[in-house]
Every structure is written in structure tokens, then in C-alpha cells.
Structure 1
Amino acid sequence: MNAPAPMLEIRGLTAGYGDATVLHDVSLSVPHGHAVALLGPNGAGKTTLLRVVSGLLAQRQGEVLLDGERITAAKPYQRARRGLCHIPEGHGIYPSLTVRENLVLHTWRKDERTAIARAVEHFPVLGQKLGRRAGELSGGQQQMLAVVRGYVADPRLVLVDEVSMGLAPNVVDQIFEFLNVIVRAGTSLLLVEQYVNRALEAADGVVILTKGTVVFDGAPSAIADDVFEHYLGSATVLR
């Protein structure tokens, strides 16, 4: 019996900006209901890869498949309708809209009342701010609002880029607890994260990029000390 197709599969991906090539023949996969950490030094191509997967940047070569279906030519909104949710670095909210309006925008798969209740269940502080403009929230509250899209929209795959950037450790704890909840519920997760130890704790698999090339793809426990030191030695550790 053949193994089921992974939720996300990237085959031979090459991409970049203008004359610059950032990703070179990158291949990786994210299994159903698993979390994969995408790690590497600054400039390795992590954000570029997420942008290609979500359709914000066209690839030059290669394929992107979601649950076995080629989405290489699909536009970003079409990928979203197939269950892909991209939470970019820098919160990814609509600051001029209220918290409630931000949540409602992502509830096309279910009724609004249920979606808001689910969001507030995980981040109660949002329930106290439903009428406030999202741009008036603290940085941590804005990030909570951004990541809760990974729940209210019922995505099958969530791409998260630097979720902890600039946040206090206690807020980071809450957000990672939430990410663990959605993975346990069956959502697949591809996570770019500056705090390597938090990413390794949350992930079932790890892919390390450097200079746009995959140099490691395996379980967190399989990362040898010399590989860690060479490619991730300067990465940030959250205490």
C-alpha cells in the first residue's frame, strides 16, 4: 500500500527576486498533522520559501503540491480556499479594522459567532478588545490576533514566519501553546522561528536552509552537534 501524500510537498524549487536566485532546487515535505521547523541563518531563504508556497512569489522551477494536488499555478486566494493559511512576519493583521472585523474576515468556512468564540477561548484578552481597532493593540495582542487565523479559518496547512519576533517570553509561551493545540487537532504547520529551541520543541521534523539550499532534513533528535553549531550556532535562544 502506498503511503499517503504529505500535506505539503515542495519539489525542486528554484526562486528569487530580479536577477538574484535565493532558493536553489529545494525539496521538502510536511506530513499531515505534523509540525516542521524551517531553520537557518538570516538570508537563507526561509521567508522566500513561504512566499512561494503561499503564491506571493512565483517560482522559476519546481512544483508545490497541497495534499497531493499541484497548486504551482494557483493564485494566493485560490491556495487559501484550498486550506493554506500564511501568517507573515510583522503580525499580518488589518490595523484599521476592529478585532472583530479581523476575525470575521477569516470565517468563510464557519459562522462568525462560533469563530469568534473559538478565538476568544484561546486568547481571552481578544474578547475584551473586539471593538478596538487592531492597530491599537499591544504587539503581543496583535500577534495573537494574527496567529488565531490558523484556527478560525479551519486551514489544513499553516505557514508561520517569525511568530515570536519582538514579543515578551510569556506571550511567546501562549502563542506556542496555541500552535501546539492546532497541530494536535490535525493541522499541518511549517514554522520559521528565530528561537531555535522553541522551534525544536514544537516540531516533529526540521529542515535547515543555508544559502537557499537544504543542508539537513530529519528529526530534531538527529541533528548532530557539528551541524547545529555550523548552521545554527548564532541563532537566538529564548530563556
Structure 2
Amino acid sequence: MLKIENMTGGYGEVDILKGIDLTLEAGEILTVAGTNGAGKSTLAKAVVGLLPRVGGRVLLSGEDITKVPAERRARTGIGYVPQTANVFSSLTIVENLEVVEGVKDRKARMAEMFDLFPALAGRRRSRAGSLSGGERQQLAFARALMTKPPVIVLDEPTAALSPIMADESFSRIKALAGTGTAVLLIEQRARQALEISHRGAIMDGGKVALEGEARTLLADERAAELYLGVGH
């Protein structure tokens, strides 16, 4: 579904990403973990077309989209939930969903989103800026899912959430993959993320230091000590 080949790039002349190779299949959750500054969020931006300078290739269902601008990538099948600024605070919940382009049968799709996120349904006329952190995250998810993207990139979706809300978010991500959506999950709560994932990749210094099945990484003592945090 998604293939990243020898990806390099950054914001200036120095590469933050230093040769990333990853694949993601339909219905699969791939967690990308690592220490702060490892390049995880930079990778997410490169995949969705928001990194100023990128080398290598990004393929979506076999099509090279490396040169495709971000707005067209969203229309062709990559959803994105950034860590911050992921909703329009001055707009209502309904308006946040209405501004998404490329939605077929918008009314029916919005109804599906309110069924999926019932906490939003009762507040649909509330401005997004008045929502709690968990509600804002749900709205960000709903916005990204409006176009039924085959691939969704989630950048730190549990950041600043309470443990209970984080658990709910992970359950929602697992259910999403169950519908066939491929999920690229960038996450600091690495151990919890890997517990719901099929595979994992641990970045260090802009490179993939470890990669494999999620259960294998969870059992890897070196990974636990250096990257996952024992007991976290």
C-alpha cells in the first residue's frame, strides 16, 4: 500500500532523514518509535508531502507520488493527523468536517463520523477551540477519515492525552486498521503502540536502527533498554 525507498531530506542543507526504507500493507499498523530528535515527525511530514526537501521515493499503491504536492496526496489517499494544529479552532465541529475536499456523499460520510465518534455528535455546533484535548483528537481523526483514505499517518496522536484517553485512542487506531486502513503511527508511547501494532521500526539519528514484528521488538532487551522504556 505504501512504500518508502531510500528517503532522505530535511529543512535545510543537512539531512534529518538518512536513507529510510519502510513498507506498509493494507490493514497493517506500523509503529515508528525512537528518542526525541530521531526524525519520526520529519518522516511523517515527508510521507504526506510537507517536508521542503526530500530524496528517494514514496509510492502509494505502486504509484510514485514523491513529487506530488501535499494537497493532491490527501485527495489520492493519504490521511494525516499532525501532532499540533490539527483542527480549525474557530470553526465548529460540523464546519471542520465540511471543509474537507474530495468527499463523496458528504452528508452520509459526516453521519458515519458522528456514529464513530459519538462524543462529537452532541457538540456538533460547538467551536473546536472549546473542545477538550480528547475531543479535539477525535475531531482530527474524523477530519482525516472523511475521504476514506487507504493510508493514514498519525503523528503522536496520544500526545498530551490522559492515560485513559490515550487507551481510547489506541483502541480506535486498532479498530481503524481492522477496516483495512493502513496506519503509519508515529508515537512516543512506544510500548503501548507496539502492543496494538503488527510491525515496528525504531529510528535513531535519522535512520532505522531496528525493524521487525512488533512482538519481537517488545521482547528485545536492547530495544527496551534504549528506546522503549522498561515498563512504559
User: What percent identity do the matched residue pairs reach?
Assistant: 36
Q: Output the amino acid matched with 1:77.
A: E
1:209–1:216 contact (8 Å) kept in structure 2:
yes
Q: Contact 2:200/2:212 (CA < 8 Å) preserved in 1?
A: yes
SS of the residue 1:166 aligns to: coil
Contact 1:13–1:59 (CA<8 Å) still a contact in 2? no
Is the 8 Å Cα contact of residues 46 and 54 (structure 2) preserved in structure 1?
no
Gap change, CA 1:107 and 1:119, over 3 Å in 2: farther
In structure 2, the partner of 1:233 is 229
1:130-166 Cα shifts (integer Å, max 9, x gaps): 1111111111111110012343220010000111111
Stretches of structure 1 that go unaligned for 5 or more consecutive residues are 1-6
Say which of 77, 87, 92 aligns to 1:93. 87
Counterpart Cα distance in 1 of 2:171 and 2:226: 29
Structure 2 spans left out of the alignment, 5+ residues? none
Instruction: Show the counterpart of 2:48.
Output: 54
Q: Contact between 1:161 and 1:193, CA under 8 Å: does it hold in 2?
A: yes
Equivalent residue in structure 1 for 2:162, among 161, 168, 185: 168
Scaled by the length of structure 1, the TM-score of the pair is: 0.91
* 2:16 pairs with 1:22: yes
Look up the match of 2:198. 204
Deviation at 1:105, TM superposition (A): 2.2
- Counterpart-to-counterpart distance in 1, 2:193 and 2:76: 26
Task: Return the alpha-carbon distance in structure 2 between the equivalents of residues 201 and 114 of structure 1.
Answer: 33
On the 8 A contact 2:154/2:184 being kept in 1, the answer is yes
List, as ranges, runs of 4+ consecutive aligned residues in structure 1 with deviation greater than 3 Å: none
Query: Quick one: which amino acid aligns to residue 207 of structure 1?
Result: A
Counterpart position of 2:137: 143
Matches within 5 A, 1:114-133: 114-133=108-127
Deviations 1:189-231 (A, max 9, x none): 0001111222112210101100001111110122221132123
For 1:149 and 1:228, the matched residues in 2 are separated by 34
Query: Residues 195 and 215 of structure 2 are in contact (CA less than 8 Å); yes or no, is this contact kept in structure 1?
Result: no
Q: Structure 1 residues 77-86 or 17-26, which shifts more?
A: 17-26
Using the TM superposition, give the Cα deviation of residue 91 of structure 1 relative to its aligned residue in structure 2, in angstroms: 5.2
